[in-house]
Structure 1
Amino acid sequence: MNARGVSPHEAAMLPAGTLDDYFASLSQSWRWTQLPENLHRQRLELEAGLLEAVERDELSITRDYFGRWIAMGTAALVALGVERGAAEVEARLLVNTFHGVQFDLVLNQNTDASNAVFETAIAHHRARVEQLIAEVAR
């Protein structure tokens, strides 16, 4: 289990739900990130990932975890009707964006700015996902 409450494996076992459910879960995860007690966890997660980039042969926990979140996002998008190849790209883009906004929040501790960026990124992601679902439905 991770600090967000469920592991990627457990989250992947949850029903896909609706597009609204998918985006509600992203917002819930973002709210979790902003809790004061979790900012320290985010800093440690970022540090661990950077150490793994240097010690690639010896450490892979954060990279493996990162990969599981991408796989989980891909599965959720496919379940919503996005073609697998596009879903993989969108899931990676979302995970990369989420981690970047987390880094901004941890580094600058400007919640208002980070919230604005997160909300804008999610609006772009939703528009793209809706477009991809519509393309498959044609």
Structure 2
Amino acid sequence: MRAVLTTLLAALALAACDGGGDPVQQALRETATANQSATVRETATTSATGHATAGHGPSVGDRAFAASEAAMHERMTAASGETVDQAYIAKMIEHHRGAVAMAEVALRNSRDPEVRRMAQVVVDSQTREIAGMQAWKPAPAN
């Protein structure tokens, strides 16, 4: 908080000397930018270490899905297309494959009948949707 206040005061002083625009608005913009940067850094740190679970690392549940999540994100990033439509289809196929992989983890590890039912619904519906997307052909250009 002290750093934010110091940044705000410094920005106010600089803006007042600069003579351009409302110094309060400028300071608010700069503070918002600094806060956004800090949030991005914190999010990146949390992502790099798994999830923040009271300093004890990823939970058993998080670890169960880590490989399927990582594979899905890697394949989604690699998926591409010449047009927005083609890229969308390619990325969504990988996204749905990731959902199937996560559902399969739940089917292997969950003992809750409702979770298992939902996971099977995901496998069935996402598999159908993948087939539909694979069958998609671009509309002819007019």
TM-score range, shorter chain: 0.3 to 0.5
- TM-score, normalised via structure 2 length: 0.35
- TM-score, normalised via structure 1 length: 0.36
